[in-house]
Amino acid sequence: MTGIEIGLSVFLALLAVVFFVMSFLQFANKGYCFNNAYIYASKEERETMDKKPYYKQSGIVFLLLGAADLFTLAAVIFHAMKLIGISSGIVAATVVYAIISSAKINKDDHK
């Protein structure tokens, strides 16, 4: 491995750890809720909203991003660029999940 590959591998490994730690914290409903609905809500709305579905959604997103990052890391380490396709597929699925789950959360909130 070249120095650039080693540096990139270390960066990707650390990024995966960060994603998985953030996912764990979101699933545990701890820390800041990294969700647009929460971020853009007013202070009054934040105090009254049920944050649990937003934490869950963010936890799943960070978990999927961590998995995608691990596939990218494996692609770098093993020079298997086909793994980038899997990583890209996971990222695309994450975007689709975020859109669908946001719509479902909004639908449930307006019942």
pLDDT tens, residue by residue, 26-66: 999 999 999 999 999 999 999 999 999 999 999 999 999 99
Asked if 26 and 55 touch (Cβ cutoff 8 Å), the reply is yes
Whole-prediction pTM: 0.93
Residue type, 102: S
Tokens of 10: 């270390």
What's the pLDDT band for 12 if we cut at 50, 70, 90? very high
Residue with tokens 């202070």: 43
